[in-house]
Amino acid sequence: MRSAALRMAELEVGQALKTVYQRMEQGFLRRPPNSSKIPPRLVAVSKTKPVEMIISAYNNGQLHFGENYIQEIEAKGNHPDIVAQCKNIKWHFIGNLQRNKINKLLNTPNLFMVESVNSIKLANSLNQSCSKYQSLVPLHVMVQINTSAEENKSGCHPDEVKEIVEFVINQCPNLKFCGLMTIGSFNHDLSKGPNPDFQKLISCKDEVCEHFQMSPEEVELSMGMSNDFEHAIEAGSSNVRVGSLIFGARSYPAKGQGDNHLTNSDEKPK
């Protein structure tokens, strides 16, 4: 029998999810008629949060979850309670992926997408490793772009996007190119106009669609976090990464712990 505390957690997480989905729908309805028709997907970023909160969100209908750190996604994905109670969960890896950690990542049951492919070398290594995990083939991937040109953020240069996409499409049979992702600069002031990082990602999408003769519906955009996901959806995002609005504020590991401290989710490391 579930404890009273767990039932209360499910109610709180459920209400938070309901609010986020309502706001997502409002952003979708505000899209211009000529914008993307892809409905937005919510990736609940469960970084630093316990398994119990993930199960609570899953029990409230949430299927897609995102993690930044290899050790967290592997541990949570293989946790016996997650395996037993969340059979249809879909994991997104959204952190900076090092090639020597790929096999640990692929050891995660129900890994659905890697949103942070940022080089041909990484794509090639991921493709080769996937051949050993037939249950993951083809693995959905996005190409991450550093639209803000900040040194502390991962992602390829916008000029490299088409080359990486072409390599994934033509040389990586175990990968499925799905779209483009950006972190972008934090806390853009919308009173100064649309987020330039979102506009840059949209421009990259337009170039990819034109170059590879793909329809706009074939290329997703992963942009938008807790502080700006409505604006991102209105601009055309089909994948938003929201954590603190669902699970509450996070406690980050001390420097030197974990695989990566560049956050691709919805908060600056504190």
Indicate yes or no: pTM above 0.85: yes
Residue 210 placed within a domain: yes
Residue 269 placed within a domain: no
Residue 268 placed within a domain: no
For the chain, what percent of residues have pLDDT higher than 70?
89
Residue 260 placed within a domain: no
Residue 40 placed within a domain: yes
Domain span at residue 98 reads 4-242
Residue 156 has pLDDT above 80, yes or no: yes
Task: Answer with the residue of higher pLDDT: 131 or 92.
Answer: 92
| pLDDT value for 41 | 98
Count CB-CB contacts under 10 A for residue 99: 13
| pLDDT value for 3 | 66
Residues 225, 244: Cα–Cα separation, whole Å: 9
What is the SS3 assignment for the chain?
Answer: CCCHHHHHHHHHHHHHHHHHHHHHHHHHHCCCCCCCCCCCEEEEECCCCCHHHHHHHHHCCCCEEEECCHHHHHHHHCCHHHHHHCCCCEEEECCCCCHHHHHHHHCCCCEEEEEEECCHHHHHHHHHHHCCCHHHCCEEEEEEECCCCCCCCCCECHHHHHHHHHHHHHHCCCEEEEEEECCCCCCCCHHHCCCHHHHHHHHHHHHHHHHHCCCHHHCEEECCCCCCHHHHHHHCCCEEEECHHHHCCCCCCCCCCCCCCCCCCCCCCC
Residue 178 has pLDDT above 60, yes or no: yes
Residue 267 placed within a domain: no
Average pLDDT of 248-256? Answer: 63
| pLDDT value for 270 | 32
Residue 247 placed within a domain: no
Number of domains present in the structure of the chain? 1
Average pLDDT of 247-264? Answer: 57
Q: Which of 193, 189, 209 is nearest to 201 (CA)?
A: 209
CB 13 within 8 A of CB 57: yes
Tell me the CB-side half-sphere exposure of residue 132, using CA atoms within 13 A: 10
Mind listing the pLDDT tens digit for each residue in 19-47?
A: 999 999 999 999 988 888 889 999 999 99
Q: And the tokens for 175?
A: 């990968």
> What is the average pLDDT score of the chain?
89
Return the CATH number at 146: 3.20.20.10
Assign 254 a pLDDT band (cuts: 50, 70, 90). Answer: low
Residue 115 placed within a domain: yes
